């Protein structure tokens, strides 16, 4: 059981490091805080909250995975290598796809509150 709770400690340490060191993660967290503030202000529905929170979790999780992949690739080589570049670009692309869809979802949710 102690190992189980230690695992949470490692996970929270990873999140904390992302907040301290990763600019893009900070940007995504700020965007999440803005969307949460807007959701509270406009009193969005439960289903809208679920959509916002799910897509936000996806973006933040992909950003963390992208960072882990980048760090792992950097441990392998600091030189420019075509395969390493492709790996990093694909991982960053995954974050971008999720972020674009998150923006679309936020637009779809908040438009009806803004255009009254």
**pLDDT at site 78:** 81
Check: CB of residue 99 under 8 Å from CB of residue 77: no
The domains found in the chain, sorted by start residue, are 2-114 (1.10.287.3610)
Whether residue 3 is predicted with pLDDT greater than 90 in this model: the reply is: no
pLDDT digits (tens, 9 = 90+) for 73-114: 999 888 889 999 999 999 999 999 999 999 999 999 999 999
Average pLDDT, integer, range 32-40 = 98
Check: CB of residue 68 under 8 Å from CB of residue 95: no
Point out the residues that are catalytic: 63
Average pLDDT, integer, range 26-49 = 98
**pLDDT at site 44:** 98
For residue 5, name the pLDDT band (cuts at 50, 70, 90). Answer: confident
> Rounded to an integer, what distance in angstroms lies between the CA atom of residue 74 and that of residue 3?
29
Whether residue 27 is predicted with pLDDT greater than 80 in this model: the reply is: yes
**pLDDT at site 36:** 98
């Amino acid at each position: 059981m102690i190992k189980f709770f230690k695992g949470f400690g490692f996970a929270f340490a990873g999140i904390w490091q992302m907040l301290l060191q990763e600019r893009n993660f900070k940007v995504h967290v700020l965007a999440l805080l803005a969307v949460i503030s807007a959701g509270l202000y406009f009193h969005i529905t439960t289903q809208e909250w679920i959509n916002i929170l799910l897509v936000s979790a996806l973006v933040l999780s992909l950003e963390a995975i992208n960072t882990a992949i980048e760090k792992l690739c950097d441990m392998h080589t600091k030189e420019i290598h075509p395969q390493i570049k492709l790996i990093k670009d694909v991982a960053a692309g995954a974050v971008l796809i999720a972020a674009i869809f998150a923006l679309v979802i936020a637009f779809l949710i908040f438009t009806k509150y803004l255009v009254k």
